[in-house]
Amino acid sequence: MTTSSIETKLSRVVAGMWRVMRWNTTRAELAAFIGECVELGVTSFDHADIYGGYEAETFFGEALALRPGLRERIQIVTKAGIRLVSPARPQHRVKHYDNSAAHVRESVERSLRAFRCERIELFLLHRPDPLIDEDELAREVERLLAAGKIGAFGVSNFSARAFESLNTRIALATNQIEVSPFHSTPIDDGTMSALKTARVTPMIWSPLGGGRLFDEADAAAARVRGTLQAIQRERGVASWVSIAYAWIFRLPSRPIAIAGTRRIEGLRDAVDALDIELTREEWFAILEAARGRAVD
Q: Where are the alpha helices (DSSP H) in 80-218?
A: 101-115, 134-146, 160-167, 185-188, 191-197
Q: For residue 97, indicate whether it is catalytic.
A: no
φ and ψ of 34, to 5 deg? -60, -45
Q: Which of 51, 54, 97, 245 is catalytic?
A: 51
Task: State the Cα–Cα distance between residues 54 and 250, nearest whole angstrom.
Answer: 34
User: For residue 14, how many other CB atoms are within 10 A of its CB?
Assistant: 27
Which DSSP symbol is given to 73?
A: G
CA neighbor of 154 nearest in space, from 271, 246, 46: 46
User: End-to-end alpha-carbon separation of the chain, Å?
Assistant: 40
Catalytic residues: 51
